[in-house]
Chains A and B, each alone.
Chain A
């Protein structure tokens, strides 16, 4: 008679597995019970404190001082909850209501905690703090965020650069442009989005960045130059249509859709005839330009370009046209 494995071994596996199953079930029930209890506590605090937060949101003039006094008089748990509520609401609210909510968060004691967290050893806590600094914008936040934009952790740098987008200041713009560099560790989308938040304030720096030695900086600047309508950028964007790096060329072409220049037509036609993604981007840009500038260019594309480029230029199928 055969016993494939020592029975003792199977018993050990069975007992260990059974014990772990019981443990898992207990963990499952405990987790759910605790989560539901936490949700109930939050709901109760919400019902109690939300009217106060809403009152703060619509307060005008001196009315806010009275609300802030009442916030300061709350118990610690309540202050923490109200601070958290105000903070969450700040993600969706702007203007005077946002200023009031920031004051509520400050009165609830959130700001000192956030500032202290920016010096935490844990990168995730520092990143959370950078996010909060951007939303709460307390005094000194800009300087602290610029420091965090040079943090050893790329995660913290990324959040800090994103937060800097909300500070209308040339120092913030400089930090953001620096984050466009290839070795910054900050995703280009984050830095360029932050630049866009700066609006016109970033225009001059973006124009200069279009001539940067680092192709990543040129690409980032090219992506936003058109949207920002940065003054004097069209000429530089035309030059970038012939950049050595394809992604820079495509970024420049897409920007030229918004800041069209007649000088771009020649380089764009050449790019269109190269075909591929580049050619499609060039054709799309030409299509967005005034017809009087591009009539001959489109005719050339009609005869010489590959079908994908012809489609991007809005040209009909040959058989359909016939």
Chain B
């Protein structure tokens, strides 16, 4: 059998994609490098002002904007008590906590009833946001001694649960947190500061989410930050640094932030109600919400902003097994595709300013298409080598260059973290970080690219999204690996 047709096809393919692929590879990494430089400049300005930021004054001020913390909970009996306690104990002058028990099959509701002696709250329900899950009952701490409301409802998903909480929220600002997240004591102060500084213009802020695996937790607080033990989790630490901390800081600086993590986002309540809360049908509900807000801002020609706060605020467990990580990445990429497709009218549309002209093209090109390009390269270059279409020496050079340049970009992110927040203080942690920077290139990147493509395909073919079961052991008081992942 002759392979000439394939050889010819590959020759044509490489001839056509020669320059576009090279330019794509350079642009993707250079764009990330530019974002890192912008973030580094932002951190430098931010940290120079640490002496006079005035958070202490705000912490004690009775005129600070009130905050409703909404915590959806599904089968969280292992952590719910600690999570609620730690949120109630946050340093902030005026905040309430609304836990929405999303039809848990375990004892989440009973744990809360026992811990706080909850009593039924039969006050009217505003009904400003349409919700799907039937509410079984609303409970609150007796005599208003603790600013805690617990809603017990049938299972209807995280977004719908947040909407239920939003409907009952009574403060000016609303923050959504995951029950398995651990918040820094000053997290509400940090994330609400842009609202206090510019209450007329700031409508949403996102806080940094970091990885808690293997860090020491006591009484719902991180007391010793450590790198995770498993390589898979270590790589995610580096990934979070590069993409979430630095990437989002830069987008915020550029005035084009379109993604706030669902694990820690703060919003003006009136705006959230105006736009209709979270979309319960969206897989990337946090991304979708911020896109909807940006659209609402631009179409209404409103002088409003979405900001990102670089100060570490929230710590969450990351997947520590390949199976759970795969599920997470498939879901993330599917969510990315569905939101980008849903808001395609904003792409390259000058009406939407930097969001339409800069951020969205970046996300389409370098986030959505990245796994496709990567997998195409992984398949076609070896095939070209096999068929003698590609020069072996050149192919090796190309692969080395792409990984070395990618490593440089990630290392730059680590350098910026080291010169700014430097949360991992041990030399062994630095070693683990550097190992993760290198290890990311060998298997992890390729695997995540495959999972992301699978997620995209699932979205294109409209397959039913299946949420994984949660297995959680809670945060060990003496550190060690907390198991389980935020996958539902």
Contacts and interface: CB of A to CB of B under 8 A. Distances in A.
Contact of A10 (B19, B65, B390, B401): B401
Interface in A45-70: none
Contacts of A14: 397, 400-401, 404-405
Contacts of A188: 199
A315 B124 contact: yes
B170 A128 contact: no
B414 interface: yes
A317 B123 contact: yes
Given A124-B48, A307-B126, A316-B122, A189 B21 contact: no
A11 B411 CA distance: 20
B394 interface: yes
Interface in A157-176: 158-159, 162, 165
B393 to A, nearest CB: 8
Contact of B405 (A17, A91, A128, A192): A17
B312 interface: no
B398 A5 contact: yes
B430 interface: yes
A127 B405 contact: no
A282 B407 CA distance: 58
B466 interface: no
Interface string A305-322: 011101110111110110
A95 interface: no
Given A10-B397, A162-B54, A193-B61, A20 B170 contact: no
Contacts of A28: 411, 414-415, 418, 430
B351 interface: no
B280 interface: no
A165 B54 CA distance: 12
A116 interface: no
Contacts of A312: 170
Contact of A127 (B15, B49, B61, B63): B49
Contacts of A284: 170
Contact of A311 (B56, B126, B199): B126
A18 B418 CA distance: 20
A239 interface: no
A307 B135 CA distance: 16
A170 to B, nearest CB: 21
Nearest to B51: A128
B128 interface: yes
A180 to B, nearest CB: 12
Contacts of B58: 189, 193
Most buried by B among A4, A190, A316: A4
Contact of A190 (B15, B54, B128, B390): B54
A2 B14 contact: yes
Contacts of B394: 3-4, 7, 10
B299 interface: no
B371 to A, nearest CB: 20
A18 B397 contact: no
A35 B442 CA distance: 32
B170 A280 contact: yes
Contacts of A113: none
Given A187-B197, A280-B170, A314 B411 contact: no
B272 to A, nearest CB: 12
B198 interface: yes
Contact of B19 (A5, A27, A131): A5
A121 to B, nearest CB: 15
Contacts of B415: 24, 27-28, 31
A122 to B, nearest CB: 9
B225 to A, nearest CB: 15
Contacts of B372: none
A17 B401 contact: yes
B408 A24 contact: yes
A189 B62 CA distance: 9
Nearest to B49: A124
Given A2-B389, A10-B398, A131-B51, A21 B404 contact: yes
A223 interface: yes
Nearest to B54: A162
Contact of A13 (B17, B54, B405, B430): B405
A44 interface: no
**Residue in B19, B168, B411 with the greatest tally of chain A CB atoms within 10 Å:** B411
B461 interface: no
Interface string B408-439: 10011011001100100001001000100000
B468 interface: no
B404 A18 contact: yes
Interface string A1-38: 11111010011011001101100110110011001000
A311 B124 contact: yes
B474 interface: no
A32 B424 CA distance: 11
B365 interface: no
Given A24-B411, A315-B123, A192 B63 contact: yes
A227 interface: yes
Of the candidates A5, A25, A35, A312, the one having the most CB atoms from chain B within 10 angstroms of its own CB is A5
A130 interface: yes
Nearest to A302: B124
Cβ-closest 8 pairs across A and B: A308-B126, A320-B122, A310-B124, A131-B52, A193-B61, A4-B18, A189-B196, A5-B22
24 contacts: A4-B19, A4-B21, A5-B18, A20-B408, A21-B408, A24-B408, A24-B411, A27-B415, A28-B414, A28-B430, A35-B422, A124-B48, A127-B49, A127-B52, A155-B49, A189-B197, A190-B196, A193-B58, A227-B63, A277-B270, A307-B127, A311-B124, A316-B122, A316-B124
Interface of A: 1-5, 7, 10-11, 13-14, 17-18, 20-21, 24-25, 27-28, 31-32, 35, 91, 124, 127-128, 130-131, 155, 158-159, 162, 165, 187-190, 192-193, 196, 223-224, 227, 277, 280, 284, 306-308, 310-312, 314-318, 320-321
Interface of B: 11, 14-15, 17-19, 21-22, 26, 48-49, 51-52, 54, 56-58, 61-65, 122-128, 168, 170, 196-199, 269-270, 384, 388-391, 394, 397-398, 400-401, 404-405, 407-408, 411-412, 414-415, 418-419, 422, 427, 430, 434
